[in-house]
A and B are shown apart, each in its own frame.
Chain A
Amino acid sequence: DTAVSQTPKYLVTQMGNDKSIKCEQNLGHDTMYWYKQDSKKFLKIMFSYNNKELIINETVPNRFSPKSPDKAHLNLHINSLELGDSAVYFCASSGGTGSNQPQHFGDGTRLSIL
Chain B
Amino acid sequence: GNSVTQMEGPVTLSEEAFLTINCTYTATGYPSLFWYVQYPGEGLQLLLKATKADDKGSNKGFEATYRKETTSFHLEKGSVQVSDSAVYFCALDSGGGADGLTFGKGTHLIIQP
Contact = CB atoms under 8 A, between A and B. Distances in A.
Nearest to B46: A102
A108 B97 contact: no
- Tell which of A103, A104, A107 has the most Cβ of chain B within 10 Å: A103
Contact of A41 (B87, B94, B96, B98): B87
Contacts of B31: 99
A59 B93 CA distance: 19
Contact of B99 (A35, A45, A102): A45
A94 B87 contact: no
Contacts of A57: 100
A42 B105 contact: yes
Contacts of B46: 102-104
A41 to B, nearest CB: 5
26 contacts: A4-B43, A35-B100, A41-B108, A43-B89, A43-B106, A44-B103, A45-B100, A48-B97, A48-B99, A48-B100, A50-B97, A50-B98, A55-B99, A94-B97, A99-B30, A99-B31, A99-B32, A99-B51, A99-B95, A99-B96, A100-B51, A100-B93, A102-B46, A102-B49, A105-B43, A107-B43
